[in-house]
Amino acid sequence: MKGHITCTVCPVGCKILVVSKPNGEYEISGNRCPRGKQYAIDELFSPKRILTTSVKVLHGDVPLVSVRTDAPIEKSRIFELMEKIKSISVEAPVNVGDVLVRNIDGMGTSLVATRKVEKNGSPLENCQISG
Ligand code: SF4
């Protein structure tokens, strides 16, 4: 087997050639630095991605808050974790950077809010109109 992977670690975008050898090892070439070799190995054997999605918010000025994992997670576990996230709801207010779930993947990765959600209720509700 042989194939090309474009390294996305830096803007150079090296085209890395991966060739499997009869002994089960891989020969990797085309990378200008060792980070590309590691990238190609990771993409072949355990590709990882940052998971971005949204979580339900209770009593917020909007019903959902956008979230992301604070580290890449194994691509093969994305659907499993999406099912887990679907069952989660958080109480408003939520601030950018709030950790909504610690260790969501059992590997120490946290789910973090990427936008602010205020508590429900317009500021006008607290105003008193006299006269
Ligand atoms: S192999 Fe190195 S130089 Fe090439 S794109 Fe990847 S990180 Fe950049």
- Cα(27) to centroid of ligand 1, in Å? 17
- Asked if 39 and 8 count as a contact pair (C-beta separation under 8 A), the reply is yes
96 & 61 share domain: yes
Into how many domains does the chain fold? 2
Greater confidence (30 vs 25) lies with 30
- Residues 30 and 105: their CA atoms lie apart, in Å, by 33
Q: Give the model confidence (pLDDT) of 76-125 as tens digits.
A: 999 999 999 999 999 999 999 999 999 999 999 999 999 999 998 755 55
What is the residue range of 77's domain?
Answer: 52-113
Distance CA 98, CA 116 (A): 9
Closest CA to 51 of 12, 100, 119, 116: 100
Residues 41 and 81 in one domain: no
User: Which domain CATH number covers 92?
Assistant: 3.10.530.10
61 found inside a domain: yes
Question: Is the domain of 37 the same as that of 73?
Answer: no
CA of 9 to the centre of ligand 1 (A): 6
| Atom nearest to 39 CA in ligand 1 | 6
Whether residue 58 is found in the same domain as residue 108:
yes
- Cα(91)–Cα(63) distance, integer angstroms: 10
Is this prediction's pTM over 0.85?
no
